[in-house]
Amino acid sequence: MASLQNSPSINRTPFLNSFPQLQKHHAVTFSCCRRRLSLLVRAQQLPPSSTMSSPQDRPGRRQVLAAGIIASWVSLVNQNSVSFAAENKKGFISVVDKKDGYSFLYPFGWQEIVIEGQDKVFKDVIEPLENVSVTVFPTNKQDIREFGPPKEVAETLIKKVLAPPSQKTKLIEATENDIDGNAYYTFEFIAQAPNYTRHALSTVSIVNGKFYTLTTGANERRWDKMKEKLHSVVDSFKISNV
């Protein structure tokens, strides 16, 4: 089974060489891509009692009520933090990063992991090629169009950044969209490795003096099943001025 660490969006040095103004941030932002599981806190549900509570059960009930109150406090704290997730569109979770000024959706059930050099990563634990990642790094450019037209930028990103050099890649489509006055390049591509082929979607934009990239995809054999969800993910990516 292909691992996320071998999937696209890992190799970045040639891309930085293509865009020299980003090189000085390479050592800090893209030093390595070792995966670490993020710390997750889950609340466990107690099974409902099949009979009415006896007096001996009351302390346990108080503990459950206390746990509910604590969970509410935690929820309030999370909503006031820099980055938090909440349910939004049916079947999806919304991620809002207030610090870097972006938001997007990912399918319910995917888990967050940490990859050094990536701002956010969520993936399916059974199908690791089904994932979404976001990278953010500074640039002295003000608009994505300063790097060139959609097809040219997409091909550079695919060949130099979003797929390892050993993989065969093919750009399927690249388009330009305007959202709230900001230009976005969105493109679809295939990256073929010896033991799997990944079908992916990416969207890139420059806002707030930062280069934003969101990439999502799936194993080619599951593309027909996943493409609608993945299009929802890439179409949900929005950047706000911060």
**Which residues sit opposite 214 in a β-bridge?**
134, 203
Among all chains, which residue has been given the structure tokens 């938090």?
84
- CATH classification code of 4-38+79-239: 3.40.1000.10
DSSP 49: P
Q: How far apart are CA 170 and CA 149, in angstroms?
A: 17
Q: What is the pLDDT of residue 96?
A: 96
Alpha-helix residue ranges (DSSP H) falling in 90-221:
150-157
Q: Kind and range of the H or E element at 33?
A: none
Q: Are strands 35-37 and 83-87 parallel, antiparallel or unpaired?
A: unpaired
User: pTM score, two decimals?
Assistant: 0.70
Task: Give the whole-angstrom CA distance, residue 185 versus residue 51.
Answer: 59
For residue range 38-72, list pLDDT tens digits in order: 333 333 343 443 333 444 444 555 554 445 544 44
Query: Quick check: 170 pLDDT over 60?
Result: yes
What is the per-residue DSSP string for 161-181?
IIS-TTSEEEEEEEEEEEETT
Helices (H), the chain: 13-18, 26-29, 58-79, 150-157, 223-236
Share of the chain above pLDDT 90, in %: 62
Tokens of 62: 């108080």
- Say whether pLDDT at 86 is over 60: no
H and E: helices and strands count for the chain? 5, 12
Buried b / exposed e over 4-22, threshold 16 CB at 10 Å, is: bebbbbbbbeebbebbeeb
**Domain range summary for the chain, segments of one domain joined by +:** 4-38+79-239
